[in-house]
Amino acid sequence: MVTVTPDCTDVVEPIARSHPHTRYVVFDCPVDQPNVAYASFASEQGSFLAGAAAALKSRTGAIGFIGGADAPLIWAFEPGYEAGARAVDPTIQVRARYLSKPPDTTGFSNEILAFQVAEQMFRSGADVIYHAAAASGDGVFEAASRLSEDLGRHLWVIGVDNDQYRSLSAGDPWQPHILTSMVKRYDRAVRALLKENSGGHFRPGNRTFDLADGGLDLADGGGFIDDIRPRLERLRVAIVAGQIRVPTVPADRAKQAKALGIG
């Protein structure tokens, strides 16, 4: 089995068709081919925990979300984050912005714009921002680092996909501002799919990894959420047990999602 990380369906499908005897695993890219397993993650569930952490750590009662592009792949992050925050504090203010709108996807690589949007959110009262904006997230980290002293309060950022605290060198000025990261456990997903394949049970099509199978987690690189871990764990257990149902689409995009057959 070959594992690849494509940019889009149009990239993967021709390759899969050209190599019908090779089996592929792709992430966050729906591909309908008999030799392709499409692995995705219940990002809304991990984002719910991120929102809860943000609300528990906020001192201003206002938090933010910055998405790279206003696209279905990113939609799940926003409502999950907001739902998690409101589960902790029903009155919390949640501000959301997307940096680009498809077909423009430059919002995932525009650190300057991300800095500007984060600065606006921080100056308007937010003290925690969760980003799902790939490389643009660097602009959010920089804004938190620069503005904390200026605004007289500690500013936090929640990273995405991997432990962004640990991805930095020790002593990096961004580290003290990375509250946690919503981690997608690609390693566990790949291991599960490889194990199935080696056992003769390769299954093409979509597989969603969630909190129940350990496909998502909150990173603890800086130790900044150690004190709230028990509360976050109770929420995780409630989601896994089905006691909490996490929304997957922002309310103002419900019609668009329905038209696309998602949500």
Mean residue pLDDT of the chain comes to: 93
Question: Residue 103: is its pLDDT beyond 80?
Answer: yes
Q: Is the peptide bond before 173 cis (omega within 30 degrees of 0)?
A: no
Highest-scoring range by mean pLDDT, 128-137, 195-204, 251-260:
128-137
Task: Give the three-state DSSP class for 104.
Answer: coil
CA torsion angle 84 87 91 94 (round to 10): 10
Band of pLDDT at residue 7, cut at 50, 70 and 90: low
User: What's 94's DSSP letter?
Assistant: E
User: How far are the Cα atoms of 34, 41, 74, 181, 228 from residue 257, in angstroms, in the given order?
Assistant: 26, 18, 12, 26, 34
Q: Indicate the CATH number for domain 43-183+216-260.
A: 3.40.50.2300
- The amino acid that residue 213 corresponds to is D
Query: Considering the entire predicted model, what is its pTM?
Result: 0.93
Q: What is the pLDDT of residues 40-93, one digit of tens each?
A: 999 999 999 999 999 999 999 999 999 999 998 899 999 999 999 999 999 999
Every domain of the chain with CATH number 3.40.50.2300 lies at: 2-41+186-209, 43-183+216-260
CATH 3.40.50.300 given to domain 2-41+186-209: no
What distances in angstroms separate CA 12 from CA 37, 87, 138, one per listed residue?
11, 39, 28
Q: Does pLDDT of 2 surpass 80?
A: no
Instruction: Give the pLDDT score at 4.
Output: 39
Q: Where are the alpha helices (DSSP H) in 58-175?
A: 72-75, 77-88, 111-123, 137-151
